A and B are shown apart, each in its own frame.
Chain A
Amino acid sequence: DAGVTQSPTHLIKTRGQHVTLRCSPISGHKSVSWYQQVLGQGPQFIFQYYEKEERGRGNFPDRFSARQFPNYSSELNVNALLLGDSALYLCASSLVQVVANEQFFGPGTRLTVL
């Protein structure tokens, strides 16, 4: 079975632009979470979606938004990009939204903002 997939793998944007990152969870998984990992730091939680509804949001500005589709895939959108948005964006999927549920991570999308 395929693991979590993310696209694109790398992306270069300039300040002020908009970006859309995509994630496909493991088949059968209904929960998707997004994390931002700045170089040299641990991942920071951005969003969690379960059954197409937002179930959690981290401490990120409104420039960040996301959604989950009927097939449980997800998009992360970032508007008005800043240099500080340069990071590895990780998507994780889990079977259900339960605290003990193991989260499976994708390879990430590396975003560079110039």
Chain B
Amino acid sequence: AQKVTQAQTEISVVEKEDVTLDCVYETRDTTYYLFWYKQPPSGELVFLIRRNSFDEQNEISGRYSWNFQKSTSSFNFTITASQVVDSAVYFCALSEARGNNRLAFGKGNQVVVIP
């Protein structure tokens, strides 16, 4: 069974600071995808990034970057130089090949950026 764990905490940072969100996952599949979604107060989930299980190359996309380590089953996400608009709940999610594109979400991290 697929499982995603996020330490469910509220993280407060001052604007322009970096914030890193931790995600640990469990799966028996060798083929899977990991995602990060953002949920602002409006409620709509917004796709941020996706990584497949065969590509551990870490990348940067604008102010977002991620660190995928299969050895520790972790998929951490960093927002660089945070802005007030980054205040939201961030969810890590897992999709297994056997489960088609069914997403298993963690409990989320509430990020509060203080101006």
Give residues in A with beta carbon < 8 Å to B.
31, 33, 35, 40-45, 48, 50, 55-56, 58, 88, 90, 92, 94, 97-108, 110
Q: Can you name 8 extra interface pairs (CB under 8 A) apart from A40-B107, A41-B108, A42-B91?
A: A31-B101, A33-B102, A45-B103, A58-B102, A100-B52, A103-B103, A104-B47, A107-B42
Closest Cβ–Cβ distance, residue A32 to chain B (whole Å):
11
Interface bin, chain B = 20 to 34
* A99 near B97: Cβ-Cβ < 8 Å: yes
A48 B91 Cβ-Cβ under 8 A: no
Q: Which residue of B lies closest to A45 (CB)?
A: B102
In angstroms, Cα B111 to Cα A18, docked, is 36
Q: Let me know if A105 and B45 touch, CB within 8 A.
A: yes
Q: A48-B100, A56-B102, A107-B42 are in contact. Are A99 and B107 (CB under 8 A)?
A: no
Tell whether A98 pairs with B107 under 8 Å between CB atoms, given A88-B43, A103-B47: no
A58 nearest in chain B by CB position: B102
Residue among B47, B52, B106 with the highest chain A CB neighbour number at 10 A: B47
Residues of B within 8 A of A33 (CB): 101-103
- Of the listed residues A33, A44, A103, A107, the one surrounded by the most CB atoms of chain B closer than 10 A to its CB is A103
A-B contact pairs, 15 of them (CB 8 A): A35-B103, A42-B91, A42-B108, A44-B105, A50-B100, A55-B100, A56-B99, A88-B43, A97-B100, A99-B32, A99-B95, A99-B101, A108-B43, A108-B44, A110-B43
Residues on A with beta carbons closer than 8 Å to the beta carbon of B6 = 42
